[in-house]
Amino acid sequence: MKDPIVAIATPFGESAIGAVRLSGKGVIDIAKRFFRTRSEIKPRYAHFGTLVDEEGEVIDEGILIYYKAPKSYTGEDMVELSLHGNPLILKRALGLFLKAGCRLAEPGEFTKRAFLNGKLDLAQAEAVAELITAKTELARRASIRQLKGELSRYVNSLRESLIELSAYIEADIEFSEEDIPTLTKEQVLGMVDKVLEGIDQLLKTAKTGRFLREGMRLAIVGKPNVGKSSLFNALLKEERSIVTDIEGTTRDYIEETLNLRGIPVVLVDTAGIREAKDPVEKLGVKRSVRKIEEADVVLFVLDGSVGVSEEDMSIYEKVKDRETIVVINKIDLGEVSLPLEIFEGHSIIKVSALTGHGLKDLEEEILKKAGALAQEGLTIYVSVRHEELLKKAKEILKGFKRTYGKEDISPEIAMLDIREAADHLGEIVGYITTEEVLGSIFSRFCIGK
């Protein structure tokens, strides 16, 4: 049992219900000092009563539930008190328990204790925070699957294969003179290949995972009057950006978030990029260039009814080395012959922001760039932390293959490589952790969770 902690577990502001959560040694005794109820408090029952202060003055009426260790979220004794969601009431309750011997919980400390007490592994603990902050239904479903352990089971199966391989190698070292089964070089390399294949499958989900968690930044760029704002509105399906025939109407960037089949997309309508004389427009162009640098994907927009100008090509030079989709707009006005070969290497989509023609194709291409259409059965998405550890394990195993396949490597060295790769996989689910890693992960949680 650890020292008792307390926190308000609901967001700040007025609401019908507000929750105060306690966990740790002696929390039920602390709660009983201030919560008056007619019946004896039993674990896992909802008890109606009144919360009073040190002088017996009533603070509020509410419901108390006691979770006895180890059958609780944290694995410790826990008390959850549901009161009216007035910030004054919740602050009074919090102050009461702090004076009685609890300390204020750190961000994510309840979930951290759940991890340390074996109620969740580290990947599941991370999923709790992702579930709370999920921006789309797809992100929510992915978080639920990770919370239920799908990612952990997948990673553990890869790790167990390496541990099994390490055991064979160790047995070969320890009992080389005994008549025990050993693996051939081809069998060893076959097992490593299967693990590498599994790692690659997970790594394919990394880009989509990042976009699900953080959102995909999509910048619409081009010279003035090519229809950037019209395209912005068409993708959003609402009139958000002002559209006129006057060049330079958009003088600063505009951002809106779009849910594109479950991928949160931060859509940025930038000011037309050109040599501006007006100081206000010049500042808008400067900001647009910065938004291009921050974007994950750039929509480079051309007016398909007038062709490609030097001004267009000047802008293209700024974006051609980025993840870019060339969007030929205004095809409803008729198309002139365009030298499309100059955009070789980039996807080219023809649209009419006015009629909606080609917008579905454009959405499909954006989803491809997000990696959301490239999944083959996997419905779990790894985070940046997972991706780094998977890459480390992959690099070690690839190095092992190169050495093991060509040289007479000693079993001791082989075993060290296999174990190191297994350790990196183990870090994903928390078999191996450091306080620094835990601090980084749980600092992103809200207080009370």
pTM of the predicted protein model: 0.80
Residues near 379 by Cβ (< 8 Å), separated by ≥ 6? 141, 142, 145, 150
Spatial contact of 417 and 385, defined as CB atoms under 8 Å apart: no
Q: For all residues of the chain together, what is the average pLDDT?
A: 86
Cα(441)–Cα(86) distance, integer angstroms:
30
pLDDT attached to residue 85: 94
In the structure encoding, which two tokens stand for residue 256, read together?
Answer: 């809106």
Cα(320)–Cα(324) distance, integer angstroms:
7
pLDDT band at 408 (very low <50, low <70, confident <90, very high): low
Q: Mean pLDDT lowest for which of 3-17, 66-80, 398-412?
A: 398-412
- Structural domains of the chain, with CATH: 5-105 (3.30.1360.120), 126-205+382-442 (1.20.120.430), 214-369 (3.40.50.300)
Cα(374)–Cα(388) distance, integer angstroms:
20
Region 381-406 average pLDDT: 91
In the structure encoding, which two tokens stand for residue 157, read together?
Answer: 């199966």
pLDDT attached to residue 241: 47
pLDDT band at 194 (very low <50, low <70, confident <90, very high): very high
User: At residue 374, does pLDDT exceed 50?
Assistant: no
Residues near 102 by Cβ (< 8 Å), separated by ≥ 6? 4, 5, 6, 22, 24, 27, 30
Q: What is the pLDDT of residues 207-248, one digit of tens each?
A: 889 888 888 999 998 888 888 888 999 998 866 544 444 444
End-to-end CA distance of the chain: 18
pLDDT band at 174 (very low <50, low <70, confident <90, very high): low
pLDDT attached to residue 327: 93
Q: What is the pLDDT of residues 297-350, one digit of tens each?
A: 999 999 988 888 888 898 888 888 889 999 999 998 888 888 888 888 889 999
pLDDT attached to residue 433: 75
Cα(132)–Cα(128) distance, integer angstroms:
6
